[in-house]
Amino acid sequence: MTGTRVGFLPRPLVIQKRNPHDNSADFSAEIPLYTKTDALIEFLNGWVSKAEADLKLGRSWESIVENLWIEMYERDFVQMDDVTNVQLWLEALAEIGYESPSGSIISAKESADRLSRDYSLGRSLSGMPRNNCETLRSRPPVQFWTSDLHDGTRLDAPTTLAFLGQRVVVAGLKGAQSPYPNALRRTEGIVVGSAIPDPVAKYTDHASDVDNATISLMAEYVARDRSGQLGSTDAFFCSFTAAMCELFLEANRTLVVLAAHRYNLGRCSVERWTLLNRRLTRLSKDDAKGNVVGAVSRYDLEYLRHYTGISNLRLVSSFSGFYTAGHRYEPTRNEILIFHLKSRKSLLVNDIEKTSRHQFKFRSVYDVYHK
């Protein structure tokens, strides 16, 4: 603990009375100590610089310690019980009001300023250096196709791509139906799919799966289509569900797989999940096609990395900042809005405030807007 002094004596002040035990079993239990030490030291050496960087960004000491133990568990240095016990220990420290080591906590304003600077919070695409997007605008547009099932992902990536001058065909069973009809119908560059191939039409929910025959059939649809939509597509985009991109494996097009939920939805057996992992790994290594494999959130990215072992995953966070093009970020309320299920309001907001040590003021979106 911080500020504790340790002294040493030339002899122990206790007498140890050993209980009956098996020396052979003791030796077996100690083998990892000898075989994994070098790997553990190498990992910890690299972790130190990462932790220092996280502290500078305002990440709490508690979350860094928790993440360390999670990463050690993922590398088989410790057991799940060890991680659980550390989490319980951190919770106990918070309950008794323990203050983190000096230097690891920065002011709320400084933390917000750093986050805004490093992650461009509060700024739209139009407020960022335009050279980041000029390359896309100066080239002929690429046509994307998405058959996503979720209303959010059917619009999130398509509207962003359309803003960057690309063309997107939003297809699937929902057609032009959307909770956000104006964004779908009036955004230049977005086209609602007119003809839906049978393999796509039969992919009705997140439990749907595909077999090899269906994959081959989908490739035939792509090759024969002359509508200017499916056959003219340069890249297929899948987010919810990400595994839906298996439909297009033989279409000879670029695949963009960005999971917005568990990437393995619909792959309900060990064999089927393993096959999906192999396919995603191959996609990630196909440089000629320019495939992208990743996720739209940190959680889904780490989930994907943990089960596939793919090292070159992309984190492409959901972003709708271009809606505020031409406007400056000038907040008038000293609050952070929390979007949540109505039934979880009090528990969620209270937990977030407790975790943040009340450095920020959180409000339920339903309390502010009463809708």
The amino acid sitting at 245 is: C
d(CA 56, CA 21): 48
Fold annotation for 135-323: Rossmann fold (3.40.50)
Whether 145 and 169 have beta carbons less than 8 Å apart is answered as yes
3-state secondary structure of 294: strand
pLDDT classification of 135: cutoffs 50, 70, 90: low
CA triple 189-194-196, angle to 5 deg: 120
pLDDT tens across 156-185, in order?
888 888 888 889 999 988 888 888 787 787
Q: Residues near 196 by Cβ (< 8 Å), separated by ≥ 6?
A: 147, 171, 172, 173, 175
pLDDT tens across 53-68, in order?
777 766 777 788 888 9
- Cβ-count burial 224-256 (b if 16+ within 10 Å, e if not): eeeeebbeebebbbbbbbbbbbbbbbbbebbbb
DSSP 8-state class, residue 247? G
When mean pLDDT is compared across 6-10, 24-28, 166-170, 332-336, the lowest value belongs to 6-10
pLDDT tens across 98-112, in order?
776 644 434 444 444
- Asked if residue 332 has pLDDT above 90, the reply is no
DSSP string, 296-342: SSHHHHHHHHHHH--SS-EE-----GGGGTT------SS-EEE---G
Q: What is the mean pLDDT of residues 132-157?
A: 79
pLDDT tens across 177-212, in order?
888 787 787 788 898 888 789 999 999 888 899 999
Closest Cα partner for 167 from 153, 187, 183?
187
| pLDDT value of residue 323 | 63
pLDDT tens across 289-305, in order?
899 999 988 889 999 99
pLDDT tens across 72-91, in order?
888 888 888 898 898 888 88
Question: Of 64-68, 70-74, 125-129, 263-267, which one has max mean pLDDT?
Answer: 263-267
Radius of gyration of the CA atoms of the chain, in A: 26
- Asked if residue 17 has pLDDT above 50, the reply is yes
Domain residue ranges in the chain: 34-95, 135-323, 331-369
